[in-house]
A and B are shown apart, each in its own frame.
Chain A
Amino acid sequence: MPLTRIAWRNLFNRRVQTLITIGVVAVGIAVTIAILLLSSGIKQGIVRASEPYGMLVGSKGSQAQLVFNTIFLMDNPLSNLEPDYYEALAEDERVSLAVPFALGDNYEGYRLVGTEPSFFELRARPADPAYFRLASGRLFEQPFEAVIGAKVARETGLKPGDEFVSAHGVTESLEPEQHKKHPYTVVGVLESTRAPSDQGIYVNMESYWLGHEHEEEAGTAADAGEHDTSEETRAEERGVTAALIKPKSYADLMTMYQEINQGKDAQAVFPGQTLAKIFDMMGSGEQILRYVAYVVLGMAGLTVILALYGATVERRKTVAILRAIGAGRAEVLTIVLLESAFVMLIGCAAGYAAGYGLAWLLTGYLGEHVSIAVPIGFDSQTLAIAGYVGLAGVAAGLLPALSAYRTETARYLNSA
């Protein structure tokens, strides 16, 4: 009978223990791999989502806030850029594309973004297709026409031709003066970008400003004196949260970046760099998660060793029988090694598959709730983890294998 068959039979005979060991190995590997895949996938997903935006220019303040405002459509907007500053920027010779971006009101929690049709020309790389594409309808052409992100359409049920009224502020709220506002008409729905931009409602700058002025009038009526309804206010209102800048060349990009940051009026931010800093800050949390994974893995290893070692006592009898019916030392050693190799192989393979499965499930969750597409690709590190754990398990299997090798046959033949 081939040694593999004998090993397999022995495992089957201890099937409960075998299954537990396989399960523990699989869970350890699955958790480790899922954490690894997600932590690198989330970063990639976020960085990918930031690619089409180019260099962000906003008023002085927090870099992170500017990135959150534009790419994640989150947080309170920084104070606006002066309209003149924006104009100068847009007309700069070195700029090939400047897109205004004004974060404002919300509808059912989805932020309105005032921008220009040029927003829909943004692309991650010059050769790529446009990043934002219409799934249905058309782009906005006049004030109070809105193009909505895929998630907004999915969640609110809005479709071209529908009307809605925005609410002021960051979050969804019931405002008594809603009826005073001019309703928006949906004219287009964007294809999903699997990014936070799916949660945006895009309108032209005109309607954004008109909406604000409208509201300003309503507000000033109530508490006159606190605000001048003068030119100054109007100028402030006509500003934008950020300008998305695509320069003509890399050299232009760098000089503009320096100029802007040396000036007093604005800051320029490369979202990728800012995100990298944020990731660094989150790094310690991620590190903790990794330690958790390693602890799980370590416990899995310990369970395997205990299981293998626990089996040696009952295995001695089997080994003695095998020796008495003609097996050599090398053969019983091989049989026991094969047993642990089978367990590790199945455990690693199952854990590997489960790790990707788990990552995939969590990715779906993240896509659904945070609108971040987390790319889960093949990562050679995951294979290395499964491989090392497998090797470690087989190495641990040497222990009982050697004990089988050394078993004194005669001693265990007579016991019942």
Chain B
Amino acid sequence: MLLIEELVKSYPMKGGQAVKVLEAERFEMKPGEKVAIVGPSGSGKSTLLHLISGVLRPTSGSIQLLGHELGALSEAELDRFRAKHIGYVFQSFNLLPGFSALENVQAAMGFGRKIPARERKARAAELLGRVGLGHRLNHRSHQLSQGEQQRVSIARALANRPAIVLADEPTASLDGANARQVYELLAEACGSEGAALLLSTHDMELAKRLDRVVPIRKLAPGRREDSAAYPHSLAQSV
């Protein structure tokens, strides 16, 4: 379902030099699989997820998702593709300010295609019910606790029945009990919606609960030592 090969993302720095922030020789995921990418802060986890979602373009290499080579899609096509097949959950929740829970979930529905209002609303309410927020439908994002906000964003990520949910440190902003609860909810919801889950975290304990754990440095095993341009933090990755 997802196949990444020879992927490199580097940023040009002052003085003409480029800094590689991510390198992955090969990474593969099967449909419905739940994978945790682990690595310390600055190791390129967010960058990897941005690349897979298409909001960021790789410097070189290939990303194939659902049979599509992302590099071959135009930006507009990529936007449509993302709307249709990818759900996104962020560390900082990223709910739309001032939108109610119901509106936040609905906001993700209908880009690129028309969904009747009634159907849209029913789906959003159903998902919010499933993440335990059936009684918070009309609360605005700032009226919700952090755990609740993240649950809204899980519902939002699943709104369009995506093939894959990308979750970028979804529990890093939450305390222990909340973190575990949201974590389980995310895995469970993806399971029942049939979506694959690619989750980044620096918490090994939580990571172990998924099907597979991939330390980010293992994505480019051969090139680890020789690259002086690598950010120092990568040396201490898990």
Q: A and B, one complex?
A: yes
Task: Mark interface residues in B72-90 (1 if CB within 8 Å of A CB, else 0).
Answer: 0001100110111000101
Task: Mark interface residues in A295-323 (1 if CB within 8 Å of B CB, else 0).
Answer: 00000000000000000000001101111
Give the residue among A318, A322, A326, A414 with the most B Cβ atoms within 10 A: A326
B120 touches A1 (CB 8 A): yes
Using a Cβ–Cβ cut-off of 8 Å, how many residues does chain A contribute to the interface with B? 29
Given the contacts A10-B98, A326-B82, A331 and B111 also touching, CB distance less than 8 Å: yes
Residue of A nearest to B97 (CB): A13
B206 within 8 A of A: no
Tell me the complex Cα distance, A272–B211, Å. 94
A9 touches B103 (CB 8 A): yes
| Cβ 8 A contact of A323, one of B79, B107, B156, B160 | B79
Task: Mark interface residues in A4-20 (1 if CB within 8 Å of B CB, else 0).
Answer: 01100110111000000
Tell me the complex Cα distance, A321–B47, Å. 16
A328 touches B112 (CB 8 A): yes
Residue of A nearest to B108 (CB): A325
B50 within 8 A of A: yes
B91 touches A414 (CB 8 A): yes
Shortest Cβ distance from A294 into chain B, in angstroms? Answer: 36
Tell me the complex Cα distance, A326–B99, Å. 17
Shortest Cβ distance from B104 into chain A, in angstroms? Answer: 9
Shortest Cβ distance from A391 into chain B, in angstroms? Answer: 28
A9 touches B96 (CB 8 A): yes
Task: Mark interface residues in B111-142 (1 if CB within 8 Å of A CB, else 0).
Answer: 11000000010000000000000000000000
Task: Mark interface residues in A308-348 (1 if CB within 8 Å of B CB, else 0).
Answer: 00000000011011111111111100000000000000000
Tell me the complex Cα distance, A5–B110, Å. 12
A361 within 8 A of B: no
Residues of A within 8 A of B96 (CB): 6, 9, 318, 321-322
| Cβ 8 A contact of B75, one of A5, A329, A413 | A329
Tell me the complex Cα distance, A324–B94, Å. 10
A9 touches B98 (CB 8 A): yes
B55 touches A324 (CB 8 A): yes
Give the residue among B47, B56, B84, B173 with the most A Cβ atoms within 10 A: B56
Tell me the complex Cα distance, A331–B82, Å. 14
A318 touches B53 (CB 8 A): no
A409 within 8 A of B: yes
Give the residue among B53, B90, B111 with the most A Cβ atoms within 10 A: B111
What are 30 residue pairs bridging A and B, where the CB atoms are less than 8 Å apart in the complex?
A1-B103, A1-B106, A9-B96, A9-B103, A12-B98, A13-B99, A323-B55, A323-B79, A324-B55, A324-B88, A325-B83, A325-B107, A325-B108, A325-B156, A326-B84, A326-B112, A326-B160, A327-B79, A328-B80, A328-B111, A330-B76, A331-B79, A409-B55, A409-B56, A410-B55, A413-B46, A413-B90, A413-B94, A414-B46, A416-B173
A415 within 8 A of B: yes
Given the contacts A326-B112, A409-B55, A13 and B98 also touching, CB distance less than 8 Å: yes
Tell me the complex Cα distance, A317–B94, Å. 8
B109 within 8 A of A: yes
B10 within 8 A of A: no
Shortest Cβ distance from B154 into chain A, in angstroms? Answer: 13
| Cβ 8 A contact of B111, one of A5, A321, A326 | A326
| Cβ 8 A contact of A322, one of B56, B103, B107 | B107
B64 within 8 A of A: no
B56 touches A326 (CB 8 A): no
B92 within 8 A of A: yes
Given the contacts A325-B107, A328-B80, A329-B76, A410 and B56 also touching, CB distance less than 8 Å: yes
Residue of A nearest to B95 (CB): A321
Tell me the complex Cα distance, A6–B84, Å. 19
Shortest Cβ distance from A323 into chain B, in angstroms? Answer: 6
Shortest Cβ distance from B105 into chain A, in angstroms? Answer: 9
Residues of B within 8 A of A321 (CB): 94-96
| Cβ 8 A contact of A416, one of B50, B55, B92, B106 | B92
User: For chain B residues 182-228, which have a beta carbon within 8 Å of chain A?
Assistant: none
Residue of A nearest to B115 (CB): A1
A263 within 8 A of B: no
Residues of A within 8 A of B94 (CB): 317, 320-321, 324, 413
Task: Mark interface residues in B40-64 (1 if CB within 8 Å of A CB, else 0).
Answer: 0000001100100101100000000
User: For chain B residues 157-173, which have a beta carbon within 8 Å of chain A?
Assistant: 160, 168, 173
A377 within 8 A of B: no
Tell me the complex Cα distance, A296–B190, Å. 57
A2 within 8 A of B: yes
Shortest Cβ distance from A19 into chain B, in angstroms? Answer: 14
Given the contacts A12-B98, A321-B96, A413 and B50 also touching, CB distance less than 8 Å: yes
